[in-house]
Amino acid sequence: MLAQYADNIPSLRRDIIKNVTAALEEDVGSGDITALLIPAEQTARAHVITREDCTFCGKAWVEETFRQLDPDVKITWHIEDGEQAAANSTLFELEGPARCLLTGERTALNFVQLLSGVATTAREYADLVKGLPIKILDTRKTIPGLRSAQKYAVSCGGCHNHRIGLFDAFLIKENHIAAAGSIKAAVTKAREIAPEKPLEVEVETLTELDEALASGADIIMLDEMDLREVNQHLEGKTVTALLELSGNVDAAKIKRNGSSFLRINRISLGLLTKNCTAIDLSLRIKN
């Protein structure tokens, strides 16, 4: 299931190990002193449930958590990444040394609650444009150290990934344009540096839109522009670049202005990863 959503995130498998290693070091430190209350030889079974409806994400992070703590822990899955979970349903079960289950509980659940929260929000927005030729994309507004994890969760929720970082695509914004001198100068230089990389230009006015179109940009980001004005301005013109809407876009705006999105190919939303709310989960040891 990981491969199904992770094709555009080449560092994901490596990052999962790094994520979990850092999280366990942060939480366990020199040792879980509370877990020492339990005899070392005692085994236990536990189940994890969700307290609310959600789109599940985080399976690989759970598996890596208990692999690092004790590879003998058995995990029985009742759900896969990207699937819907109803409130109070069991997501997975654990069986193994009681100390290990208790030590790994918070780390495993922290990943699942965060990533499922991102996936659930992404599902909401993916459903808003279902049937339309529009992609909802994330941005680089991610939690430091968890970018690939959050972008994976966005994919699980049915949305799409913008560039992963500063290395895989050009995004020429107002400060780049100001420093370079013009949109044309910035685009020309970018084509010299890496002609094979996707090239996107952010514009804020109709004049800049025309400049970006003339420059041959692959994608043009319309930053908080009036779509009715844009549609009227482009009427009768051939537009080869993809048009991306960005800036103060939310579910209400998408519902309210759907008819204005006729020329829009993409909508990028920082809120997918920046404003996510964690899903309420619970782990219970079975007697």
Question: In the structure encoding, which two tokens stand for residue 13, read together?
Answer: 């498998």
CA distance 5 to 80: 12
CA distance 73 to 76: 10
Catalytic annotation, pick one of 32, 63, 64, 202:
202
Nearest to 97 by CA among 47, 44, 37: 44
Catalytic annotation, pick one of 13, 45, 67, 173:
173
Would you call 72 a catalytic residue per the annotation? no
Nearest to 229 by CA among 253, 200, 254, 257: 257
Catalytic annotation, pick one of 141, 184, 191, 197:
141
Would you call 173 a catalytic residue per the annotation? yes
Cβ-contact 115, 55 below 8 angstroms: no
- Name residue 243's amino acid: L
The sheet that has 242-246: what strands, in order across it? 135-137, 266-268, 242-246, 219-223, 199-203, 170-172
Would you call 81 a catalytic residue per the annotation? no
Catalytic annotation, pick one of 210, 223, 274, 280:
223
Query: 3-class SS at 74?
Result: strand
CA distance 1 to 156: 10
Would you call 223 a catalytic residue per the annotation? yes
- In order of 46, 64, 71, 76, 247, the CA distances from 96 in angstroms are 9, 15, 9, 12, 48
Query: 3-class SS at 137?
Result: strand
Catalytic annotation, pick one of 18, 106, 140, 274:
106
Would you call 163 a catalytic residue per the annotation? no
**Which residues are part of the catalytic machinery?**
106, 141, 173, 202, 223
